[in-house]
């Protein structure tokens, strides 16, 4: 993964740490409270350099997390397509893919309507990935062949309607969305999901089917999201502490769709680590049952796991696919379960 120190020479502006921290605080405020200021920050080289210093390397972990959840045939599908990131900013998820996949033969296109973001992306490209085939543009060109589209923290800015129009107009084969893990972004993503299903796409992640989301059905104030937990490089951890923004635990809403013939064999999706009580972990899982999506609370008794396993379960990200055997149905929607050895091994080894 790229560290802040490695990125420094590739930033648009040379900045002191104090300047970066100030700009990052302003960016964070623009993202969470003053959305009307977003265009101003995207027109400022200092803010863009700060975004690239901090959000690019931390967001990239979300791509690494996602790739571990996808079936191999879908990953091959991505490698054998032209990958377009819409709203690429400094090139975040294209570089994220380059870091994770052996994909020298894949062509990439980074699209953004901020000329300064594109300039920043190009500078990082030339400096850190000079041999990769990436084109930077303000619009999506007509492309022959297979296409993968990535929306990285951009659907919530452009809205689901524009996103659906772009996907349809350009006939994307695979669509990946990695959006903020917030309630408002979930509203956009729920509308996007419905639109994609209507347009004939299958959901590959995070759901195990195309049925109505049980989270919205049960509580319209609730939202489904993943929580990506990771360790940070020291240089990024320092920035994170200075701006008081935790990036070791990152909520995100991650969806993957395709029209390809890829089997969705997901069993149970961990939606939430509800509670870590003395004797057990309580988790919420989502699954498909006869075409209907359901939510169930599961209980994992700690005493049956080794110390090392309990530690791994404690620090797990949500959004994992798991499988288990049911020991006891305490209630119809509350089961005591045992993870399968394969799943446990995956969690312990962070595969």
Ligand X SMILES: C[S@@+](CC[C@H](N)C(=O)[O-])C[C@H]1O[C@@H](n2cnc3c(N)ncnc32)[C@H](O)[C@@H]1O
User: Which residues bind to ligand X, rule: CB under 6 A?
Assistant: 42, 55-56, 59, 86-89, 92-93, 111-114, 117, 152-154, 157-158, 162
In the complex, least distance from residue 153 CB atom to ligand X, rounded to whole angstroms: 4
Nearer to ligand X by C-beta: 109 or 322? 109
CB of 114 to ligand X, least distance (A): 4
What is the 3-state secondary structure of 287-340? EEECCEEEEEEEEEEHHHCCHHHHHHHHCCCECCEECEEEEEEEECCEEEEEEC
Taking the complex as a whole, the smallest distance from the CB of residue 34 to ligand X amounts, in Å, to 14
Q: With respect to ligand X, which residue has the nearer C-beta, 180 or 319?
A: 180
**Residue among 162, 142, 167, 191 nearest 259 (CA):** 167
Nearer to ligand X, 151 or 287 (CB): 151
Closer CB to ligand X, residue 120 or residue 208? 120
- Pick 49 or 153: Cβ nearer ligand X: 153
CA atoms of 23 and 289, how far apart (whole Å): 48
Q: How far is the CB of 104 from ligand X (least distance, A)?
A: 22
How many angstroms separate the Cα of 295 from the Cα of each of 178, 186, 192, 213, 310?
Answer: 23, 17, 21, 9, 24
* Min separation Cβ 8 and ligand X, Å: 18
Q: For residue 2, which phi and psi values (nearest 5 degrees)?
A: -80, 135
β-bridge partners, 109: 84, 135
- DSSP state, residue 17: H
Task: Give CA–CA dist 78/173, Å, rounded.
Answer: 9
Nearer to ligand X, 114 or 148 (CB): 114
User: Rounded to the nearest whole angstrom, what is the least distance from the CB of residue 290 to ligand X in the complex?
Assistant: 37
Q: Which residues pair with 298 in a beta bridge?
A: 283, 335
Smallest gap from residue 306 Cβ to ligand X (A) = 38
Residues 6+ apart with CB under 8 A from 83: 94, 97, 106, 107, 108, 109, 147, 148, 150
Report the residue number, 164 or 337, with the smaller CB distance to ligand X: 164
Residue nearest to ligand X (CB): 89
What's the closest the beta carbon of residue 148 comes to ligand X, in angstroms?
14
Question: Beta-carbon neighbour count of residue 260 at 10 Å?
Answer: 16
Residue with tokens 């995207």: 42
Residue number with CB closer to ligand X (61 or 324):
61
Secondary structure (3-state) at 6:
helix
């Amino acid at each position: 993964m790229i560290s802040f120190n490695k990125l420094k020479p590739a930033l648009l502006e040379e900045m002191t740490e104090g300047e970066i921290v100030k700009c990052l605080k302003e960016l964070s405020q623009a993202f969470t409270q003053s959305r009307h200021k977003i265009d101003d920050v995207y027109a400022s080289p200092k803010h863009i350099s700060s975004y690239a210093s901090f959000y690019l390397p931390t967001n990239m972990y979300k791509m690494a997390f996602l790739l571990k959840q996808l079936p191999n045939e879908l990953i091959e599908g991505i490698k054998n397509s032209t990958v377009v990131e819409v709203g690429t900013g400094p090139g975040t998820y294209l570089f994220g893919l380059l870091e994770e996949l052996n994909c020298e033969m894949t062509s990439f296109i980074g699209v953004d309507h901020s000329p300064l973001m594109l300039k920043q992306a190009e500078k990082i490209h030339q400096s850190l990935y000079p041999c990769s085939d990436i084109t930077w543009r303000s619009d999506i060109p007509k492309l022959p062949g297979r296409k993968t589209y990535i929306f990285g923290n951009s659907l919530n800015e452009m809205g689901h309607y524009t996103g659906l129009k772009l996907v349809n107009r350009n006939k994307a084969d695979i669509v990946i969305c990695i959006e903020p893990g917030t309630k408002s972004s979930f509203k956009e993503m729920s509308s996007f999901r419905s639109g994609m299903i209507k347009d004939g796409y299958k959901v590959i992640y995070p759901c195990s089917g195309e049925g109505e989301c049980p989270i919205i059905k049960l509580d319209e104030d609730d939202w489904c999201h993943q929580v990506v937990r990771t360790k940070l490089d020291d240089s990024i951890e320092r920035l994170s502490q200075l701006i008081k923004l935790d990036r070791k635990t990152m909520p995100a809403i991650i969806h993957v769709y395709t029209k390809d013939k890829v089997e969705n064999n997901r069993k149970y999706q961990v939606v939430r680590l509800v509670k870590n009580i003395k004797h057990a972990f309580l988790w919420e899982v989502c699954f498909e049952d006869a075409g209907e999506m359901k939510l169930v609370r599961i209980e994992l008794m700690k005493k049956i796991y080794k110390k090392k396993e309990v530690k791994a379960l404690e620090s797990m990200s949500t959004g994992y696919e798991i499988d288990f055997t049911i020991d006891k149905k305490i209630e119809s929607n509350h089961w005591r379960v045992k993870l399968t050895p394969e799943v446990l091994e995956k969690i312990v080894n962070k595969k």
